[in-house]
């Protein structure tokens, strides 16, 4: 039967055509390099002590096949030496230009300055805090002209729609704000010599917190732990209920009504502005008149200074850790950024 099939002219012709038909051939495809070349320049912003990666993170990246180049003394203000990064596997660059010229991915903490934008190469990727609402109009244009892919830490969301970077920084700055207030209430920093909290037989310190978000919650948690009397103001009732539920106790809460807020500020020892605006600038809830009604030696800490201020202080440009003792208002003013204090917690 097989011989009959082989001798049939129709099948033979089809077989011949199949042999002559062109067949696909495999073409060599260039293997794409998936390794990252990461550059970490030294931060140049005023009082910026943080650095984008700690040595342990650099070692993790290098061990997974990535390259990291870091500018010399970039971690000095956070007490990390060039030796720490070199032993972790990073390359040390001795000029800023070398970092921006060779790296494909730039990691920063503070938004890039105009000078740093000039150093960036076309089609580079930037991971940094950008603070778009506070930038000049040509900031985005400069990024666009160089076709830079810029990813802002403050807009990154996880699978639960939470802002993980903002969440972590808010927790730290909330706790830190109370510790700084305690320091400036003491006489070591020209304060009125009071202990934040309270002891038996002595009225507790009064802390007013404007904003019931993550910063406000952790500030309230720390203040209550020290024994202070806490009052929280926010226009979001859900946040006010949440902060009481998370803290596990009842505390004074109120919407931001000017008369109620002024009454609380008159007797407050510490006032903390902890309002975060989702878009644009933070609204001003405390006027200069309210500040002038506060007691001598009270401490004001505004953690929203990067988005404008919550507490209006005679429109004085008090920046970061520059402290002012205004004898006319009898007030010690302290506006901070979270960049000034626990740098290592923030970087981890």
Helix (H, G, I), strand (E, B) or coil at 326: strand
Tokens of 200: 């038996």
Residue 289 near residue 300, CB atoms below 8 Å: no
Domain boundary among 103, 121, 155: 155
Sheet strands side by side (includes 67-71): 91-93, 67-71, 37-40, 105-107, 125-128, 149-152
Helix (H, G, I), strand (E, B) or coil at 91: strand
Domain assignment present for 11: no
Q: Are 293 and 222 within one domain?
A: yes
β 229-233/206-210 pair status: parallel
pLDDT in tens, 288-317: 888 888 888 888 888 876 655 555 554 433
Q: Are 243 and 286 within one domain?
A: yes
Separation between Cα atoms, residue 320 and residue 307, nearest integer Å: 13
Q: Are 285 and 175 within one domain?
A: yes
Domain assignment present for 299: yes
| Structural domains of the chain, count | 2
Q: Per-residue pLDDT for 330 more than 60?
A: no
| Alpha-carbon distances, residue 129 vs 75, 111, 242 (angstroms) | 18, 5, 28
Q: Are 116 and 220 within one domain?
A: no
Domain boundary among 155, 187, 209: 155
By residue range, what is the domain housing residue 55? 37-155
Q: Per-residue pLDDT for 131 more than 90?
A: no
Domain assignment present for 238: yes
Separation between Cα atoms, residue 345 and residue 93, nearest integer Å: 25
Q: Are 327 and 254 within one domain?
A: yes
Q: Per-residue pLDDT for 147 more than 90?
A: yes
Domain boundary among 155, 190, 215: 155
Domain assignment present for 14: no
- Higher-confidence residue: 34 or 235? 235
What is the pLDDT, as a whole number, of residue 160?
86
Q: Per-residue pLDDT for 68 more than 90?
A: yes
Q: Are 180 and 132 within one domain?
A: no
Residue 119 near residue 100, CB atoms below 8 Å: yes
Q: Per-residue pLDDT for 100 more than 90?
A: yes
Helix (H, G, I), strand (E, B) or coil at 308: strand
Q: Per-residue pLDDT for 88 more than 90?
A: yes
Q: Are 144 and 261 within one domain?
A: no
Question: Mean pLDDT throughout 9-27?
Answer: 64
3-state secondary structure 40-73: ECCCCCCCCCCCCCCHHHHHHHHHCCCEEEEECC
| Alpha-carbon distances, residue 341 vs 169, 265, 323, 336 (angstroms) | 12, 26, 15, 9
Supply the CATH number for residue 214's domain. Answer: 3.40.50.720
What is the pLDDT, as a whole number, of residue 117?
93
Highest mean pLDDT among 24-38, 45-59, 288-302, 319-333: 45-59
What is the pLDDT, as a whole number, of residue 314?
41
Helix (H, G, I), strand (E, B) or coil at 74: coil
What is the pLDDT, as a whole number, of residue 127?
95
CA angle 150, 154, 158 (to 5 degrees): 100
Domain assignment present for 181: yes
Percentage of residues in the chain having pLDDT higher than 70: 77
Separation between Cα atoms, residue 270 and residue 283, nearest integer Å: 20
What is the pLDDT, as a whole number, of residue 21?
63
Helix (H, G, I), strand (E, B) or coil at 322: coil
pLDDT in tens, 238-289: 999 999 999 998 899 999 999 999 999 999 999 998 887 776 677 788 888 8
Q: Per-residue pLDDT for 333 more than 90?
A: no
- Report residue 18's pLDDT band, with 50, 70 and 90 as the boundaries: low
Q: Are 46 and 146 within one domain?
A: yes
Q: Are 120 and 182 within one domain?
A: no
Residue 212 near residue 247, CB atoms below 8 Å: no
Q: Are 91 and 177 within one domain?
A: no
Separation between Cα atoms, residue 276 and residue 282, nearest integer Å: 6
């Amino acid at each position: 039967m097989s011989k009959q099939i082989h001798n049939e002219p129709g099948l033979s012709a089809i077989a011949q055509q199949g042999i002559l038909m062109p067949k696909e051939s495999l073409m060599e495809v260039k293997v794409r390099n998936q390794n990252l070349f990461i550059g970490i320049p030294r931060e140049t912003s005023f009082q910026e002590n943080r650095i984008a990666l700690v040595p342990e993170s650099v070692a993790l990246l290098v061990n997974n096949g990535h390259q990291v180049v870091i500018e010399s003394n970039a971690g000095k203000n956070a007490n990390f030496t060039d030796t720490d990064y070199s032993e972790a596997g990073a390359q040390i660059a001795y000029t800023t230009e070398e970092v921006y010229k060779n790296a494909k991915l730039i990691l920063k903490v503070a938004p890039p300055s105009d000078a740093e934008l000039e150093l960036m190469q076309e089609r580079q990727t930037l991971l940094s805090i950008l603070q778009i609402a506070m930038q000049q109009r040509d900031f985005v244009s400069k990024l666009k002209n160089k076709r830079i892919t810029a990813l802002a830490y403050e807009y990154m969301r996880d699978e639960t729609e939470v802002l993980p970077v903002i969440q972590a920084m808010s927790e730290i700055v909330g706790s830190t704000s109370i510790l700084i207030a305690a320091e400036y209430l003491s006489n070591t920093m020209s304060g009125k010599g009071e202990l934040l909290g309270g002891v038996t037989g002595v009225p507790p310190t009064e802390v007013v917190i404007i904003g019931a978000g993550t910063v406000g919650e952790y500030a309230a948690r720390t203040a209550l732990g020290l024994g202070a009397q806490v009052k929280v103001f926010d226009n979001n009732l859900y946040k006010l209920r949440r902060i009481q539920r998370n803290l596990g106790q009842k505390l004074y809460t109120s919407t931001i009504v000017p008369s109620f807020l002024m009454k609380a500020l008159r007797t407050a020892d510490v006032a903390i502005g902890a309002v975060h605006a989702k878009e644009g600038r933070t609204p001003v809830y405390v006027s200069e008149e309210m500040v002038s009604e506060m007691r001598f030696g009270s401490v004001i800490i505004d953690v929203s200074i990067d988005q404008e201020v919550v507490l209006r202080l005679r429109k004085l440009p008090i920046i970061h850790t520059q402290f002012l003792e205004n004898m006319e208002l009898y007030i010690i003013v302290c506006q901070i950024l979270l960049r000034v204090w626990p740098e290592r917690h923030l970087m981890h």
